[in-house]
A = this chain, B = another copy of it.
Amino acid sequence: MLGRKLVERLAREGALAGEAIEGLILADVVEPQAPPGDIPCERYAADVSQRGAEETLLAERPEVIYHLAAVVSGEAESDFDKGYRVNLDGTRNLFEAIRHAGHRPRVVFASSIAVYGQPFPDVIEDDQFLGPLTSYGTQKAIGELLLNDYTRKGFLDGIGLRLPTVAVRPGRPNAAASGFFSNIIREPLNGQEAVLPVPDDTRHWVCSPRSAVGFLVHAATVDGAAVGPRRTLSMPGVSVTVAEQLESLRRAGGDEAVARVRRERDETIAGMVGAWARAFDPQRALALGFRADDDFDAIVRAHVEDELTR
């Protein structure tokens, strides 16, 4: 979803980091769709966990490489081998191929707030210990360490972003444990019922898809020297409770929208979400010019503008 939105924005603007985009090279496990417009675009179905896949992608020495892969949290937990093969080996294969290409591109690596596991403080600072409690979080934390080392050695110029949970996600409800953060806004605004599996006082750290894409675009422009040796930054976001989300929903869709949210506690989801990070103090990212949504009302407005008023 983020990759698609990023590609659409790059195709629409035709420029990145102040330079015209000559073309896009898109790769995913299934062949990606071309964006609207007439920007030159190569598209590949590629498995980054297989050595050799990357050489084709790097043949034209792209100056900016986005690595948003890949196996999500739930699947990395249930299929241990696949998670390590794709998220760890795939990342390492890509970094190795970039090293051997030798042109030292900017590499933007999507990390995750899943690199943090309890215990952590209510507000997480930039120097918080990386203590993941999932295989996915472990693989992302290892990716951060590799990004630092490959950057330090001069093999690439990496910037990692620890993205907040992205809400409101467009499309159909999915099975991700975090899906309800989007569902309880998107579905009621669309006249549909949504299930809320956690208590109203559940607090979480979110950003809009529009902001997340903005972080990815801005990451192409950041001065690596100003970032220093620790190349991954916690992104800004909005710390919001479910109750506050529902008040934003009320302001956007009225009482009838809120009435479409049905409380149906799921202890498994409530337990998982209760262990997630609730808020950050992302000083480094703010100093480097990364900007998030103002508040959850702005996130709902972005959803309405981007998804419901086309």
Contacts and interface: CB of A to CB of B under 8 A. Distances in A.
Contact of A129 (B128, B138, B149, B153): B128
B149 A138 contact: yes
The oligomer's copy count stands at 2
B135 A149 contact: yes
B153 A135 contact: yes
A302 interface: no
Nearest to A99: B80
Interface stretch (A56-64, A139-147, A245-253, A263-271): A139-147
A286 interface: no
A131 B165 CA distance: 25
Contact of A130 (B117, B129, B152, B229): B129
Contacts of A130: 129-130, 145
Interface string A115-153: 001000000000111111101001001100110110011
Contacts of A230: 129, 131
A148 B230 CA distance: 22
Contacts of A229: 117, 131, 133
A148 B138 contact: yes
A74 to B, nearest CB: 15
Contacts of A80: 153
Nearest to A155: B80
A88 B236 CA distance: 32
Contact of A127 (B129, B138, B141, B146): B129
- A131, A142, A145, A230 pick with most chain B CB within 10 angstroms: A145
Contacts of A129: 127-130, 230
A131 B230 CA distance: 7
A162 B23 CA distance: 47
A120 to B, nearest CB: 9
A133 B152 contact: yes
A145 B132 contact: yes
A132 B131 CA distance: 15
Contact of A146 (B117, B133, B138, B148): B138
Contacts of A152: 133
Contacts of A131: 148, 229-230
Interface in A146-177: 146, 148-149, 152-153
Given A80-B153, A153-B80, A229-B117, A141 B133 contact: no
A145 B153 CA distance: 22
Contacts of A133: 152, 229
Given A127-B129, A130-B145, A135-B149, 20 more contacts: A80-B153, A129-B129, A129-B230, A130-B130, A131-B148, A131-B229, A131-B230, A132-B148, A132-B149, A133-B152, A135-B153, A138-B145, A138-B146, A138-B148, A138-B149, A141-B145, A142-B142, A142-B145, A142-B146, A145-B145
Q: Which 8 A-B pairs have the closest CB atoms?
A: A138-B149, A127-B129, A138-B145, A142-B142, A141-B145, A131-B230, A135-B149, A142-B145
